[in-house]
Amino acid sequence: MPQAKPLRSTTTGALKGAIRVPGDKSISHRSLMLGAVAVGETVIHGLLEGEDVLHTAAAMRLLGAEAERESNAAGAGVWRVRGVGLGALREPAQVLDMGNSGTAARLLIGLVAAHPITCVFTGDDSLNKRPMARVTKPLEEMGARFVGRSGGRLPLTVVGSDQLVPITYRLPVASAQVKSAIILAGLNTAGATTVIEAEPTRDHTELMLRHFGATVTTERLEDGALAVTVIGQPELTGRTIHVPADPSSAAFPAVAALLRPGSELVLNDVGMNPRRTGLYDTLVEMGADIAFENRRDQAGEPVADLRVRHSRLKGVVVPADRAPSMIDEYPVLAAAAACAEGTTVMLGLKELRVKESDRLAMVAEGLTRCGVSVEVGADDSLTVHGTGKGPKGGATVATAMDHRIAMSFLVLGMASEQPVSVDDGAFIDTSFPGFVGLMNGLGAAIVEA
């Protein structure tokens, strides 16, 4: 476990500049995993070199693929993955340690479940508390076997098989990770595997599988749900992938710029997949001045350059059905809401309780410490009474091994009367390596506390 790294963020003036935040975490994990089961070489530009993704790269190596980093002429990392071919992952000689990453653990459990190998998965103290039954249950229906702790937590042994049976599975929770785990198991399973989702979740697995040559179809059902079907055992061919900048990471400088008077930032190459942009829709509803410039397509994913200017924000109601498209952005939205005029109500946040931390509890507790009035509803809603300027601050906030809690409160500190500290910023490296330097380069004042 990394050593705790307390950080303090102090009110700043205007934020100015043009930056590219690191690559999309969801797309980065998937590019390494699919590259590893494709035939030939996959070349990945812009891979997120955060700890979560580096755990996936290490796991793919233990499963037999080659995954190496080179530097291009500009010094940026280019990753080359030499795949083993679908069905040919090798039994790892060591435990697969997925660190802090639920995405890495759940997707990989699905992928190896359809291989005739036995793998042991573990993670850090945060990941080992998170529910895994949501993936093991449907995978058991397909014929995979699991041996693990009671309560369906890691560490967990997966006894895979290449003789799984395809299923049709209706997701009980809106989760791209569960959907992807089943699709990735269906990939090496003869026949058609279907996942039905009532609410659309991020579709990077589907888009990237098509890019690698698999047949993945989507069909709108009579009740409005979406049925996603993968045809098993395709020939996957190595591809070139350009990973867009992560809209979930861009959210932090974007909100910071909205909150600081005089700010104007350009965030380049930000992924604009409509299943990921709920935060930006919400901020615009709150009165944010965000221009989506230069919209274009980059290897099957829409991207844009975002020009963000300081804005006076007002409170809004965020409907529950928007949650899947902004599931990771509620902590930073809560920071924006704390500075807005009026009340913001966020509905349908139950899933926040099973993220890297119980984000609903951590956000409510942290905001309260900073002098913001909040209520958590019995229906897992969060109400934030905006201060209209910035909150009092002057507190140290607990982060519970959660990178997004840490970054959100550092952003809040930039707009608070007194500095805001977080007890541990070390986990920021899981998704946003270089966060502090990048933000300080724009005008923030984040220092080791």
Residues annotated as catalytic (active site), given as ranges: 328
Query: Which of 418, 417, 413, 435 is CA-nearest to residue 426?
Result: 435
Cis peptide before 247 (omega within 30 of 0): no
Residues with Cβ within 8 Å of 54's Cβ and at least 6 positions away in sequence, in order, are none
Output the smallest distance, CB 6 to ligand S3P, in A. 24
Using DSSP bridges, classify how beta strands 118-122 and 156-159 pair: parallel, antiparallel or unpaired: antiparallel
327 part of the interface to ligand S3P, by CB under 6 A: yes
Specify which residues 68 forms β-bridges with. 80
Output the smallest distance, CB 352 to ligand S3P, in A. 9
Euclidean distance between CA atoms 184 and 104, whole angstroms: 12
Euclidean distance between CA atoms 3 and 214, whole angstroms: 43
DSSP state of 398: -
Q: Among 119-127, 174-182, 287-295, 338-346, which window interacts with ligand S3P (CB under 6 A)?
A: 174-182
351 part of the interface to ligand S3P, by CB under 6 A: yes
Query: Which of 407, 328, 299 is CA-nearest to residue 46?
Result: 299
Output the smallest distance, CB 51 to ligand S3P, in A. 14
176 part of the interface to ligand S3P, by CB under 6 A: yes
407 part of the interface to ligand S3P, by CB under 6 A: no
In the numeric block, which tokens belong to residue 295? 């919209």
Output the smallest distance, CB 21 to ligand S3P, in A. 15
Using DSSP bridges, classify how beta strands 264-271 and 16-19 pair: parallel, antiparallel or unpaired: parallel
In the numeric block, which tokens belong to residue 42? 């996959």
Q: Among 173-181, 183-191, 406-414, 417-425, which window interacts with ligand S3P (CB under 6 A)?
A: 173-181
Output the smallest distance, CB 357 to ligand S3P, in A. 12
How many residues make up the chain in this entry? 449
Give the residue nearest to ligand S3P (CB): 26
Euclidean distance between CA atoms 75 and 25, whole angstroms: 20
Nearer to ligand S3P, 192 or 354 (CB): 354
* Residue from 31, 42, 136, 175 binding ligand S3P (CB under 6 A): 175
Query: Which of 324, 86, 87, 31 is CA-nearest to residue 205?
Result: 31
DSSP 149-169: -TTS-SSEEEE--S-----EE
* Residue from 180, 188, 383, 421 binding ligand S3P (CB under 6 A): 180
103 part of the interface to ligand S3P, by CB under 6 A: yes
Contact characters 24-63, ligand S3P, x per CB under 6 A: --x-------------------------------------
Q: Among 58-66, 176-184, 274-282, 409-417, which window interacts with ligand S3P (CB under 6 A)?
A: 176-184
Nearer to ligand S3P, 327 or 349 (CB): 327
* Residue from 28, 100, 136, 177 binding ligand S3P (CB under 6 A): 177
Output the smallest distance, CB 338 to ligand S3P, in A. 22
Nearer to ligand S3P, 31 or 421 (CB): 31
Nearer to ligand S3P, 42 or 175 (CB): 175
Cis peptide before 172 (omega within 30 of 0): no
Asked if 334 contacts 384 with a C-beta cutoff of 8 angstroms, the reply is yes
Output the smallest distance, CB 248 to ligand S3P, in A. 7
408 part of the interface to ligand S3P, by CB under 6 A: no
Footprint (CB under 6 A) of ligand S3P, residues 211-230: none
Residues with Cβ within 8 Å of 183's Cβ and at least 6 positions away in sequence, in order, are 110, 193, 195, 205, 206, 209, 216, 228, 230
Nearer to ligand S3P, 357 or 387 (CB): 357
Output the smallest distance, CB 32 to ligand S3P, in A. 12
Euclidean distance between CA atoms 109 and 130, whole angstroms: 14
List the beta strands (DSSP E) in 46-117: 66-71, 77-82, 96-97
Instruction: Count residues near ligand S3P (CB under 6 A).
Output: 10
Q: Write out the residues near ligand S3P by the rule CB under 6 A.
A: 26, 103, 175-177, 180, 202, 327-328, 351
